[in-house]
């Protein structure tokens, strides 16, 4: 854990310390509450900012095998989907448990929590000019369920353990993967899970009650919850007479490289393993606050697997922002100051750094399909052989939180009393001896992942010292290859980052890990009838205490099985030039909400580029234009005062921290 000087506790007052280029003092801005608030901007002097209307982010991630289709991909998808597609509802600012209307203007949840009716906004168009309406909503959700992609996002929509849209559990568990099963398609459609009541009203019916926060979190989720243009899909994807544009059981290759939503940016070009370019959609409806099109003309995400290359690009101005793995934190953060008082101070002028806790979960995942991981003694030996505290301190540099259970403290279902695995060399040696394995073990890591590379090296050293009869091999592959291997059950040991929960509720994460209907549970072979009963009971209960009790039992059973070992939750660290605005709010950044995550422990999902703009000058403006439309629920006030300080800490309700250094003339 990081220094006690930095709080992980929610706070009410947002305190921002901003360095102004033209003054020797520091202005502190206090944001209280949170309805849309705006200040005026003033001109500044200084060097011209390169490409002031184009925002370039460099990241170490790229879309998974499903590409850009929200019905297929839930790996590394946030930054791609959230800028082109939109949801019926979205998270309320930094809080992943409360929600605001988005494409929907309002909703009504039935008293028995097994139905929700959405009333939709009118006058919104997709980027192809076709209207957004209830038919589009039904098409998007039915499409994801009917494709039934193996290890796909429909798990949150159609599984018994999750939201369970009516007809979905039966369809998803039938012979419908890579098969167009017309009988099952007809049964699903007849069940009436998603029904159009009129042009702008759509109703969702569930198989069982589902808690409100989990339900709305699912509708806020960027993969299965993204609304696509039916006309665009039908025009470009084969379908059936019963399901135009959708061939049940099969993906559409066209949509893996194309996008068409209602969001502020359109897909301009996509070059796999290189970059993705988004262009401003000029007819964007402007969010619930009707603030018009995006200020940026382009948002470009470049895939750069080398962290050092990204750092050089940032400092040269070739990139506006980068994600920073926790293992590289002190490349750009003053280590001495952080060690002294927990304050983040950039080591370079003109650089701003944000850091915040996430809901991202790093684990040691062992595949019992591959020997020797079929032996529980060997799995537990490996769990006790990892030096957790040494790793957290020396590799993640204190930007992480040790996990004993399978959920972060910001998720429903977290149990602080659960005791997980810690480094115990004596017990590890005893269990290695009991397992009696002699030979090699392979750890597969993603080539871009500096943190996991360091984890694998450290683990190799420790295991081989504890049992000289075991050799650890480390194999590095690119992200698409890694994911393909994982989906084919070819990864013996997955170490470290990350699982990024799609909702702040344990129902999804625990079901995916503890049930063979979840792909991770299928990988580890965990299949316990009692645990499955607990999962079903917890998902369908509205009694919070009862749900917490059941999820605690599930986690303890999983720990005893030892197929997935909880390790830590990394912070998001995001680095940008100080010409990126707004400078005094996390809004628009991946660190803004702990549900945004990219799976690497770096910037949590890239930028919501609609809220971002660039200054015209390298100098920081005296007064900033700050817009926070529709994302916070209470009235807000902004006041500015001269604090007369140098440096500082920025705290939001999710404990985002930032500090910047600006060149002065």
Spell out the domains of the chain, with CATH numbers in brackets: 13-51+296-358+573-661 (no CATH), 78-263 (3.90.76.10), 361-570 (3.10.105.10)
When pLDDT is cut at 50, 70 and 90, the band that residue 625 belongs to is very low
User: What percent of the chain has a predicted confidence (pLDDT) above 70?
Assistant: 84
Which one, of 194, 216, 225, 35, lies nearest residue 108 by Cα? 216
Tens of pLDDT, residue by residue over 327-342, are: 899 999 999 999 999 9
CA–CA distance, 414 with 548 (Å, rounded to integer)? 8
Cα-flanking dihedrals φ and ψ of residue 577, to 5°? -75, 150
User: What is the chain's Cα-based Rg?
Assistant: 24
- Its pTM stands at 0.82
User: What percent of the chain has a predicted confidence (pLDDT) above 90?
Assistant: 63
Burial class from Cβ neighbours inside 10 Å (0-12, 13-18, 19+) for residue 395 reads: buried
Which one, of 568, 628, 576, 571, lies nearest residue 597 by Cα? 571
Tens of pLDDT, residue by residue over 63-108, are: 767 789 999 887 666 678 889 999 999 988 888 889 999 999 999 9
Which one, of 536, 569, 553, 619, lies nearest residue 1 by Cα? 569
CA–CA distance, 523 with 491 (Å, rounded to integer)? 9
Mean pLDDT highest for which of 603-607, 620-624, 626-630? Answer: 603-607
Cα-flanking dihedrals φ and ψ of residue 95, to 5°? -95, 115
Average pLDDT score over residue span 612-636 = 52
Contacts of 69 (CB under 8 A, 6+ apart): 251, 252, 255, 256
DSSP 44-69: --SSBPSSTTEEEEEES----TTTT-
* Sign of the four-CA dihedral 487, 491, 493, 496: negative
Cβ contact 386:493 at 8 Å? no
Tens of pLDDT, residue by residue over 631-660, are: 333 333 322 322 222 222 333 334 455 555
CA–CA distance, 125 with 132 (Å, rounded to integer)? 5
Look-up of token digits 């039904």: 138
| Better-scored residue on pLDDT, 29 or 142 | 142
Q: Is the pLDDT of residue 220 over 50?
A: yes
Q: What angle do CA 642, 37, 43 make, to 5 degrees?
A: 60
């Amino acid at each position: 854990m990081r220094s006690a000087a930095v709080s992980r506790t929610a706070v009410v007052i947002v305190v921002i310390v901003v360095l102004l280029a033209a003054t020797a003092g520091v202005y502190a801005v206090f944001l209280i509450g949170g309805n849309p608030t705006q200040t005026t901007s003033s001109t500044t002097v200084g060097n011209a900012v390169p490409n002031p209307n184009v925002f370039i982010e460099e990241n170490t991630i790229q879309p998974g095998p499903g590409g850009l289709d929200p019905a297929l991909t839930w790996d590394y998808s946030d930054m791609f989907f959230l800028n082109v597609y939109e949801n019926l509802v979205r998270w309320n600012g930094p809080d992943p448990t409360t929600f605001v209307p988005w494409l929907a203007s309002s909703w009504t949840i039935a008293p028995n929590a097994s139905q929700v009716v959405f009333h939709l906004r009118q006058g919104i168009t997709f980027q192809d000019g076709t209207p957004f309406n209830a038919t589009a909503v039904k098409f998007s959700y039915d499409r994801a369920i009917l494709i039934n992609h193996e290890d796909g996002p429909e798990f949150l929509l159609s599984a018994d353990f999750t939201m369970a849209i009516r007809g979905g559990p039966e369809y998803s568990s039938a012979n419908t993967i890579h098969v167009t099963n017309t009988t099952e398609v007809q049964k699903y459609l007849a069940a009436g899970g998603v029904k159009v009541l009129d042009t702008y009203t759509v109703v969702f019916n569930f198989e069982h009650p589902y808690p409100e926060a989990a339900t709305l979190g699912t509708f806020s989720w960027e993969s299965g919850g993204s609304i696509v243009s039916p006309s665009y899909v039908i025009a470009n994807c084969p379908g059936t007479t019963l399901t135009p544009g959708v061939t049940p059981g099969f993906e559409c290759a066209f949509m893996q490289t194309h996008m068409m939503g209602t969001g502020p940016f359109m897909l301009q070009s996509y070059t796999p393993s290189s970059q993705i370019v988004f262009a401003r959609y000029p007819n964007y409806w402007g969010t619930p606050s009707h603030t018009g099109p995006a200020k940026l003309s382009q948002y470009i995400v470049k895939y750069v697997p080398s962290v050092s290359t990204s750092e050089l690009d940032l400092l040269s101005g070739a990139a506006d922002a980068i994600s920073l793995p926790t293992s590289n934190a002190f490349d750009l953060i003053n280590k001495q100051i952080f060690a002294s008082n927990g304050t983040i101070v950039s080591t370079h002028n003109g650089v701003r750094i944000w850091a915040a806790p996430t809901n991202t979960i790093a684990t040691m995942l062992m595949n019992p399909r591959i020997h020797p991981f079929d032996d529980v003694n060997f799995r537990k030996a490996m769990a006790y052989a990892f030096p957790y505290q040494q790793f957290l301190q020396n590799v993640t540099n204190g930007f992480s939180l040790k996990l004993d259970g399978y959920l972060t403290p910001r998720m429903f279902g977290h149990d602080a009393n659960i005791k997980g695995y810690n480094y115990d060399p004596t017990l590890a040696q005893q269990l290695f001896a009991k397992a009696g394995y002699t030979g090699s073990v392979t750890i597969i890591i993603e080539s871009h992942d500096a943190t996991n590379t360091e984890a694998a090296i450290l683990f190799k050293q420790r295991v081989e010292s504890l049992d000289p009869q075991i050799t650890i091999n480390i194999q590095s592959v690119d992200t698409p290859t890694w994911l393909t291997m994982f989906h084919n059950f070819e990864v013996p040991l997955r170490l470290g980052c990350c699982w990024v929960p799609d909702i702040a509720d344990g129902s999804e994460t625990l079901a995916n890990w503890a049930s063979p209907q979840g792909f991770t549970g299928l990988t580890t072979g965990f299949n316990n009838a009692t645990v499955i009963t607990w999962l079903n009971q917890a998902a369908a209960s509205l009694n919070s205490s009862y749900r917490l009790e059941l999820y605690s039992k599930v986690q303890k059973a999983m720990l005893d099985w030892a197929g997935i070992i909880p390790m830590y939750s990394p912070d998001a660290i995001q680095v940008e030039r100080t010409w990126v605005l707004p400078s005094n709010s996390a809004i628009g950044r991946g660190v803004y909400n702990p549900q945004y995550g990219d799976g690497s422990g770096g910037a949590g999902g890239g930028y919501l580029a609609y809220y971002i703009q660039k200054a015209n000058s390298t100098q920081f403006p005296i007064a900033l234009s700050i817009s926070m439309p529709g994302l916070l629920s209470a009235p807000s006030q902004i006041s500015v005062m001269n604090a007369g300080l140098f440096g500082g800490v920025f705290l939001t309700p999710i404990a985002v921290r930032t500090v910047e250094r600006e060149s002065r003339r």
